[in-house]
């Protein structure tokens, strides 16, 4: 496999993932794409490794168990990247039709166990994979994935902003986590960027965008981006109290921007 990333040990993990999934799924596996940060171009040592596997049909229980065995084995590799794979197994039909409310087999970052989740059954994931996905196996993503209309993407993102605001109302101290607080700030910045452009951009691009379009929030976002390479090390640590408060204010600001779009 060619050097897909600047991390040789990650390239080895991706090569093994591709080989093993091909072995256990055979022709059922139509394509395997590297997506997320590594597709958009802002990945660093703190990035998870997002992938999307496209299958002919929803995995059967037997196929899912075979895939599960692959991920258990990969997780045991003495390479940190092997513990940060995150992705889903999505039937091809779902990439050309409605996605909402469709749980699919999903591997969370830091997990060795598949679950059924809607995590990647989103227009954002569809858009990023179609426009920037790196094919580890199979045809270019545009051949399998339907285009996403900008207004549909904006509508989904508005819903995600509301979810963050709902989370804050339910758990006022929920952002007091050294991983979640900067993650929330960067995620919401990306959403605002998408609302303006109708496209999905990287976290780093969203920080740069804020300099012109949301300058009051740029210092918060710069601090969040500075923490990104070590974000997994901060998971069990409390967040900076001032930035927790600012991130809550930023989420409420973003919600106001989504409401302004309808005025």
Look over the chain and give the mean of its residue pLDDT values, rounded to a whole number.
93
pLDDT of 132 reads: 96
Reply yes or no on domain 8-143 having CATH 1.20.950.
no
The string of pLDDT tens digits covering residues 195-209 is 999 999 999 999 999
Q: Count other Cβ atoms within 10 Å, centred on residue 260.
A: 9
Under the banding of pLDDT at 50, 70 and 90, the label for residue 3 is low
The total number of residues shown for the chain amounts to 263
Residue 232 is predicted with a pLDDT of 84
Q: How many other β-carbons are positioned within 10 Å of the β-carbon of residue 261?
A: 11
The pLDDT of residue 222 is above 50: yes
| Mean pLDDT score, 21-41 | 96
pLDDT tens digits for range 73-91: 999 999 999 999 999 999 9
What is the C-alpha separation between 131 and 181, in angstroms, rounded? 28
Q: Given a cut of 50, is residue 31 above it in pLDDT?
A: yes
> How do strand 85-91 and strand 29-34 relate by DSSP bridges?
unpaired
Question: Is the pLDDT confidence value at 233 over 90?
Answer: no
- C-alpha R_g of the chain: 18
Least confident of 28-37, 89-98, 132-141: 89-98
Return the percentage of the chain with pLDDT > 70, whole number: 96
Provide the pLDDT confidence category of residue 263 given band limits of 50, 70 and 90.
very low
255, pLDDT greater than 70: yes
Q: Is the pLDDT of residue 261 over 70?
A: no
The pairing of strands 49-55 and 85-91 is parallel
User: Residue 236's pLDDT band (boundaries 50, 70, 90)?
Assistant: confident
**Predicted local confidence at residue 262, as pLDDT:** 42
Residues 6+ apart with CB under 8 A from 149: none
Count Cβ neighbours within 10 Å for each residue of 82-113 and write b for 16 or more, e otherwise.
bbbbbbbbbbeebbeeebeeeebbbbeeeebe
Lookup result for tokens 């929803």: 58
Does pTM surpass 0.85? yes
Would residue 79 be called left, alpha or beta, if left means φ above 0 and alpha means ψ between -120 and 50 degrees?
Answer: beta
For 90-116, the pLDDT digits (tens) are 999 999 877 666 899 999 999 999 999
pLDDT in tens, 165-189: 999 999 999 999 999 999 999 999 9
Q: Where are the domains of the chain?
A: 8-143, 150-260
Return d(Cα 71, Cα 235) in angstroms, integer: 22
Q: Which residues contact 158 (CB under 8 A, 6 or more apart)?
A: 195, 258, 261
């Amino acid at each position: 496999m060619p050097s897909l990333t600047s991390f040789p040990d990650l390239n080895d993990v991706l090569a093994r993932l591709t080989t093993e999934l091909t072995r256990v799924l055979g022709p059922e596996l139509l394509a395997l794409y590297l997506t997320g940060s590594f597709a958009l171009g802002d990945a660093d040592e703190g990035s998870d490794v997002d992938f999307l596997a496209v299958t002919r049909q929803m995995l059967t229980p037997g196929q899912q168990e075979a895939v599960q065995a692959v991920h258990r084995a990969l997780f045991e590799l003495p390479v940190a990247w092997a513990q940060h794979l995150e992705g889903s197994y999505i039937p091809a039909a779902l990439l050309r039709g409605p996605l909402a409310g469709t749980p699919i087999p999903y591997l969370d970052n830091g997990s060795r166990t598949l679950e059924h989740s809607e995590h990647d059954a989103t227009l954002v994931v569809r858009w990023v994979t179609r426009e920037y996905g790196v094919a580890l196996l199979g045809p270019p993503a545009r051949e399998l994935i339907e285009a996403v209309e900008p207004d549909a993407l904006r509508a989904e993102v508005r819903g995600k902003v509301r979810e963050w605001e709902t989370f804050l109302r339910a758990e006022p101290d929920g952002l007091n986590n050294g991983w979640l607080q900067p993650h929330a700030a960067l995620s919401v910045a990306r959403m605002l960027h998408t609302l303006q452009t109708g496209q999905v951009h990287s976290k780093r691009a969203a920080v740069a965008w804020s300099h012109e379009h949301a300058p009051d929030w740029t210092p918060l976002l710069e601090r969040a981006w500075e923490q990104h390479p070590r974000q997994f090390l901060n998971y069990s640590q409390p967040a900076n109290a001032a930035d927790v408060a600012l991130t809550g204010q930023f989420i409420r600001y973003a919600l106001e921007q989504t409401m302004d779009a309808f005025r």
